[in-house]
Every structure is written in structure tokens, then in C-alpha cells.
Amino acid sequence: PLEMSAKKPVPFLRQVVSVPKKVHRDPRFDDLSGEFKPEIFMKTYSFLDSIKKQEKEMVQKQLKKCRDVEQKEKLQQLLNRMTQQEQAQEKQKKLRERELSLKRQQRELAKQGKKPFFLKKSEKRKLELAEKYAELKRSGKLESFLNKKRKRNAIKDKRRLPSQKNL
């Protein structure tokens, strides 16, 4: 018969055929993929920036032509997301350039025979804030930024205070 009988008991020492298990590889955490270097990655995939720019222009044209309210809203959200991604990418690029310049300075000091000095995270943050302050002052948006920050802090303080009902 093509099928074995179900009534017959299974032998004690039966033949088990082992199926080789597939090993799944995650390239993000695998050593075979090499280590991630953002500079090389950005150079390799720099052609994507031009494609993204073309897509953004195409979305802007569609947004101008569109009459449907729902479609227009979706296109607007897509455009906002694209601009935010662009801004985030620029911010990361500036941060990377700043870190590279600090590393270069440290190398030059080390070549001169001085002991290398590495900034703490808090000091890096202070430098970043100072740079942001200078940028806002240069663009003339400093006052509005500080007003927003004051309002935000006032709201936070108000939340922390006990409510009048409890007193």
C-alpha cells in the first residue's frame, strides 16, 4: 500500500529524518555584513538625494493641480514628511561634520605631543545649544524661539503645581 496502516504500532527505534533548519541572518547585527560607516553609506547612496528631490517636486506639482480635499490633505502630509526627513538628514550631516572636525583637532593635538582631551556628553550638548543660539540669532528667530520655550516651561510648571481643588 502507498500509506502505512494506522493500526500498526510505531516501532521503538524508528528512523527520524532530520530536516536542516534554516538559519536566518539579520544583516544589521551580523559580522559577515561588515561594520556600518555612515560616511561611506552616504557616499554610496548619494544618488538617492536627487531622486528624492525629483519626487518632492512631483508631489508639489500634484498638490497644486489636485482639487480633491482628501487627496490634497494626503499629499500635504507626504510633503511635510519629506521635508522633515530632509531636515533630519541635514541635522545629522552637520552633527557628523562637527564630530569629525573635533576628531581632526584631537589628532592634530596628539601629533604635537599633547594629551588627547575628549568632551563629555553634557559639554557636547552645551556646544550644540550655543551653536543653535548663534544660528537663531543670525536668522532673527531668537526672540520667537525663546518666547515659545518660556511658554512651554510655564505650562510644565503649572502642571507640577497642586491644583486649587485639592487645597
pLDDT tens-digit readout, 113-125: 988 888 899 998 9
Could you state, in order of their start, the residue ranges of all structural domains in the chain?
A: 36-106
Average pLDDT, the chain: 89
pLDDT at 64 over 70: yes
**Percent of the chain residues topping a pLDDT of 90:** 52
Q: How confident is the model at residue 167 (pLDDT cuts 50, 70, 90)?
A: low
pLDDT at 36 over 60: yes
Residues 6+ apart with CB under 8 A from 131: 98
pLDDT of the residue at 16: 82
pLDDT of the residue at 162: 83
pLDDT of the residue at 117: 81
For 69-98, write each residue's pLDDT tens digit: 999 999 999 999 999 999 999 989 988 898
